Structure 1
Amino acid sequence: MSHNHSHSVTSYNRAFMISVALNTTFVIIEAVYGIIANSLALLADAGHNLSDVLGLLLAWGASLLAQRQPSTRYTFGLRRSSILAAFANAVFLFIVSGGVGWEAIQRFRDPAPVEGDTVIIVAAIGIAINTISALMFLSGRERDLNIRGAFLHLAADAGVSLGVVLAGIAIVLTGQQRFDPATSLIVTIVIVVSTWQLFRDALSLMTDAVPAGIEPLAVRTYLLERPGVTGVHDLHIWAMSTTETALMAHLVIPNGHPGDAFLAEIYHDLHENFSIEHATIQIELGDSGQPCALAPENVV
């Protein structure tokens, strides 16, 4: 078997550090003024921002673990920790949204007076902080599920804070206190919607599904079209982390091993055409007297 390693890890340490600091400060400010103004919308948004701080810390820690070198026990290193972090992040946000939604329903039954002016000012600060934080993760959102999760949550927070500003304005203009829990329900819906795709993607990677953007049939066709190849089996494509994809396959070449240059070309093409960084190829002659036990499609 041969291996090809081409691991590129983009560092977002500075972005994580700044975002965590900004959002932690804002959570404290928002919670204090949420209590002073008796605003569930502010407290709900503070809870959501707190979950984002924890999520950012989780993603940050996972990105650092993913850079650790392989060991005799962890032969792939700790790259998969980034997938686990993305999944945990999504589950945590679902739990938070459930709590916020339940409290909002209770407030609909018994609305409490809210200081609209305070709500507007504090939430406006939230728009600025979350927008700045989200922009720091903008460039990496397409390549890394962890970074995408951070970007989506922060961008959603900016939108939620805008909703809270509008609720504050509505309360000031109309005096209707139910705008506050109504906004809280909108917060809940935004959290669930923005988190659902992250949850699905993370769950897929955890269960070794082929990463999104890679068509297994196209990979199989490419391998079958290599000179001398008459069959492909035991083909598996899975994610080692939120940024790295691995492949293993058996190629049947009756004329014998074509040489290292043949494999090097395959590894290069898999990387360039399918973004597969780690490939393991086994060459077989297709000897009917010694059939490969992994040849049947239903055998793993």
Structure 2
Amino acid sequence: MQVEVVGTAGAKHAKKLSWALAMTATYMVAEVIGGLVTGSLALLADAAHMLTDVGGLALALLAIRFAARAATPQRTFGYLRIEVLSALANAVVLLLLTVYILYEAYQRFLSPPEVMSGPMLLVAAIGLAVNLISMRLLSSGSSESLNVKGAYFEVLSDMLGSVGVTIAALLMMWKGWVLADPIIGAGIGLFIVPRTWSLLSQVTHILMEGTPLNVDVSSIEAKLLMIPGTVAVHDLHVWTLTSGFDAMSCHLVVADLSTGREALRAVRGIMKNDYQIDHTTIQIEDETLRAEEIVLQV
């Protein structure tokens, strides 16, 4: 069976993801060492945070590699949905991580730890630089691929953690304010929630075969009905398989089946030119065939 390999929106950003993964993993090791040396619970907690991000970035790369595999008779769309499942896993991990951050903030508020704020500041500053570079690498891909977007949010949460640790270290150095760490930690956790929830909502919408947000189904139906000879349109569906890959299917009822070829070309042209959808499945039928179909459905 001849099958077609379809790329994903995230595939072209694989190299950038690899760089982000390498930098994040390297800094995570450095942060663990820094946390042990300084006695900073904040740094160790942030290192645990980064461990989940390393896993998220690795999962994103793994998803891209699976998505590039050819389709099979058993999986006619191949592994394209792996990217969406990866983004779902990232969103869930981030939400769980937020719960952990808030819990740790509460614990530190009750019993603020003693830390070496100077070395803590140095490690946090290095981490901030690494995270900003990684965010720069992934920023363009985050608008094209949910998978890359999930990885971008992982790095974003890392960056916020570095900012929080930096601010906490400065406040402890200059003001001796030991409660800075738990308060800033809670703020970081709350900041992550709406962005993660947005990602989770988008993933859920795709898994529920929801219509792409930039597509108006009623508008498509109106345009198809304007095709000469078209009597009706039904069973019209538009959905997203993965980022950058939308699909459409419908039944087009025409007055004369001899005009079916022209009608089919017109539908393909409308979907490609007006909605940038290349993957279409259109069933052409006349009113007699439509009536028989209704009978079979009863």
Letter in 1 for 2:168: A
Corresponding position: 1:47 with 2:48: yes
Matched AA of 1:11: K
Aligned pairs for 1:164-203 within 5 A? 164-203=165-204
Gaps of 5+ in 1: none
Shift of 1:136: 1.4
Which residue does the alignment assign to 1:72? 73
1:93-108 to 2 correspondences below 5 Å: 93-108=94-109
Q: Distance in 2 between matches of 1:289 and 1:236?
A: 17
The one-character-per-residue Cα deviations of 1:79-110 (angstroms, maximum 9, x if unpaired) are 11111111111011111221221122111111
Please give the secondary structure, in 2, of the residue aligned with 1:132.
Answer: helix
Cα pair 1:5 1:278 within 8 Å, conserved: no
Shift of 1:22: 0.5
CA contact (8 A) 2:228 2:263 kept: no
Could you tell me which residue of structure 2 aligns to residue 279 of structure 1? 280
Give CA deviations for 1:240-293 in whole Å, capped at 9, x if unaligned.
Answer: 112211111001111224244542342233133223231100011022883433
The amino acid of 1:19's aligned partner reads A
Superposed CA offset, 1:43-99 (max 9, x none): 232222221111111111111111111101001111111111111110111112212
**Greater relative contact order: 1 or 2 (C-alpha under 8 angstroms, separation 6 or more)?**
1
Aligned pairs for 1:31-42 (under 5 A) are: 31-42=32-43
Aligned to 2:268: 267
1:128 is aligned to 2:155: no
Cα distance between partner residues in 2 of 1:166 and 1:294: 70
**CA drift at 1:11:** 2.0
Percent of aligned pairs sharing the same letter: 32
Query: Does structure 2 retain, via aligned residues, the 8 Å contact 1:248–1:281?
Result: yes
**Partner letter of residue 202 of structure 1?**
V
Equivalence for 1:206? 207
SS in 1 for 2:234: strand
Q: Give the drift of 1:6.
A: 7.4
TM-score by length of 1: 0.89
Q: Distance in 1 between matches of 2:36 and 2:294?
A: 66
Q: Once structures 1 and 2 are overlaid, which stretch shifts more, 31-40 or 176-185?
A: 31-40
Tell me the equivalent position of 2:140.
139
Over 3 Å counting, the alpha-carbon distance change for 1:265 and 1:63 in structure 2 is farther
Q: Distance in 1 between matches of 2:227 and 2:24?
A: 52
Q: How far apart in 1 are the matches of 2:141 and 2:296?
A: 39
Q: Which residue of structure 1 lines up, in the alignment, with residue 254 of structure 2?
A: 253
Query: What is the aligned residue count?
Result: 294
With over 3 angstroms needed to count, the CA separation of the structure-2 counterparts of 1:7 and 1:99, relative to structure 1, is closer
Residue 235 of structure 2 is matched in structure 1 by 234
> Structure 2 vs 1, CA of residues 128 and 254 (structure 1 numbering), >3 Å: closer, same or farther?
same
The two structures, once aligned, show a CA RMSD in angstroms of: 2.4
Q: Residue 92 and residue 155 in structure 1: after superposition, are their counterparts in 2 closer, same or farther (change >3 A)?
A: closer
